[in-house]
Amino acid sequence: MIFKTMKPFILASGSPRRKELLENTGIVFTIHPSTEAEPEPQQGQLPEEYAKSLAQAKAESIFSQMPGNYVLGADTVVVEGQNILGKPTDKNDALRMVSSLLGKTHKVITGCAIITPDGEINKFHAITEVDFINCDTKIIEAYVATGESYDKAGAYAIQGKGAFLVKEVRGSYSNVVGLPLAKVIETLVSYGVIVPGDG
């Protein structure tokens, strides 16, 4: 156990990736996924501001139901050029997304919002640059056919079968998985939610 949990902490996300990242550090928390509908980005809204607004909406939704806790909301988007890529709606959408990233550099942005028991909101984000290989369309079709794409921003999972697509990563790897873990841990330590454990 790396960290000991000192104060009630809620993860407002049903993502198994975020759950695993936090659990690996020894943090004890409860999961209450937000059911807030995700709005489309506003005209001219920066991707990082959009990601943070989604994270805040998730955190506020759960905090309103369970006040008096520390609540973490997070949302990840993939940005290629000027296009914000969320989760694909179907097979064709997944094929379109992955194909649009081939042979290029894209950004993965995770917005986070931590609400304290007194209602203070701390928002931050992390940006990671990811280079994709270029490959044949049939390979992408085979990847999408595995079903892994459907609940992933940008339609791929760096920690799963989609790892073969990634040529290089610049920045936080855990951010691409779904949570900028170093910044989240740093923030939780600053609030006294967690302290060093006993191994």
Indicate the domain borders of the chain: 3-196
Question: Predicted confidence band at 40 (pLDDT cuts at 50, 70, 90)?
Answer: confident
Quick check: is 75 catalytic? Answer: yes
- Give the separation between CA 163 and CA 175, rounded to whole angstroms: 14
- Give the separation between CA 10 and CA 187, rounded to whole angstroms: 14
pTM of the model: 0.93
Q: What CATH number belongs to 3-196?
A: 3.90.950.10
The set of residues, in sequence order, having a beta carbon less than 8 Å from that of 31 and lying 6+ positions away, is 10, 11, 13, 14, 19
Burial class of residue 107 (count of CB atoms within 10 Å of its CB; 0-12, 13-18, 19+): buried
Segment (H or E) for 111: strand 105-115
Answer yes or no: is pLDDT of 164 > 80. Answer: yes
- Interstrand relation of 30-31 and 83-85 (parallel, antiparallel or unpaired): unpaired
Question: Predicted confidence band at 167 (pLDDT cuts at 50, 70, 90)?
Answer: very high
Which residue is catalytic, options 75, 118, 131, 198?
75
- Give the separation between CA 184 and CA 194, rounded to whole angstroms: 11
